Amino acid sequence: METTLLTSVEVAGFVARGFTRLDAVVPPGLNEEALDVLAAGIPPVAYGTPLPLAFPAGSFARRLVEVPRVAGALHSLLGPGPTVDHHHVHLREPGGGDAQPLHGDAIIDTRADAFDVQLMYYPHEVTADMGGTLLVPGSHLRRTNESDTGRYQNLRGQIRLTCPAGTVLLLHHGIWHGGRRNDSDRLRYMFKIRFNPAVPQVRLWDTADLGDPAVAEQLSESFPWYETATGRLEIYNRIGLWRAMTGDDTFDVDHWATRVANRPGRSA
């Protein structure tokens, strides 16, 4: 299966924002099939099931994750042979449902050198009145516990997803998000799969542009909701994750991590 890997600049964007968006990458025929499949439901799997066992060859979910751009992006972030943590079909009835509180999908996760990836697939167009998924870019490395952020109603720079049919989001598991109300007159579907890596997440993408200055530019991005001081820690956290993902302990942005690690006179 031929896939298209993400570039270093694209992976750096994921590290900075906490998500990668692939618009309209799933073919129309698979999107049409999805509506019946998701309505019927997809059988659950045990936590940590290898992908080929979770989704047998020829199944809808297997063909979804084998769409070349989806497969390439998953490989770029997770590597070969990821396991399926769990999956779920999210359905919002027309004109119904409350907005979910802003949350992350895990208890406090202290991993600084690894992450799970959540795939969110939208088989039909999502318009503004359909609600869609709310995302807070750059929130994924700020450690919180599940719905601790639920009291926050609106943050500057948040994204209320609208997208064409066949769009896939790949999220860092820690990103703050929530499903919105569906104020339209049609059903809204979203299919979520959470993947766990099975190999070290080091240089799994197309690294031909690893030295591109745009990598540091991506990792330096700020977001409107960041505090003047504390928000800078998010960039520091990205530097640590990028060092782990590249195996380069010398990488830095504006000397931030280098000065913090400075210990003159201490032996290695």
* H or E segment to which residue 117 belongs: strand 117-122
pLDDT digits (tens, 9 = 90+) for 23-55: 999 999 999 999 999 999 999 999 999 999 999
Collapse the DSSP code of 191 into the 3-class scheme (helix H, G, I; strand E, B; otherwise coil) and give the result: strand
Strand-pair partners of 241: none
Distance CA 35, CA 127 (A): 17
User: Would the pLDDT of 16 be above 60?
Assistant: yes
Top CATH class of 8-196 equals mainly beta
Instruction: Report the range of poorest mean pLDDT among 73-77, 86-90, 144-148, 185-189.
Output: 144-148
Q: Would you place residue 108 in the very low, low, confident or very high pLDDT band (cuts 50, 70, 90)?
A: confident
- 76-85, 91-100, 159-168, 192-201: which has the minimum mean pLDDT? 91-100
pLDDT value at residue 111: 85
Contact 176, 139 (CB under 8 A): yes
The pLDDT value recorded for residue 143 is 84
Residue with more model confidence, 117 or 263: 117
What is the mean pLDDT of the segment spanning 201-215? 98
Q: Residue 71's closest CA among 79, 47, 192, 152?
A: 79
Rounded to an integer, the average pLDDT of 137-148 is 89
**Strands, DSSP E only, in 152-220?**
159-160, 167-172, 177-179, 188-196
Confidence of residue 267 (pLDDT cuts 50, 70, 90): low
The pLDDT of residue 147 is: 85
Tell me: pLDDT of 9 over 80: yes
Name beta bridge partners: 135.
Answer: 159, 177
Confidence (pLDDT) at 146: 82
Please give the backbone phi and psi of residue 260, each rounded to the nearest 5 degrees, phi first: -70, -35
Q: Using the predicted structure, report yes or no on whether residue 10 has a pLDDT greater than 90.
A: yes
Backbone torsions φ then ψ of 113, nearest 5 degrees: -125, 15
Beginning with the edge strand found earlier in the chain, give each strand of the sheet holding 83-92 in spatial order.
Answer: 19-22, 167-172, 117-122, 188-196, 83-92, 49-50
What value does the mean pLDDT of the chain take?
Answer: 94
Domain chopping of the chain, boundaries: 8-196
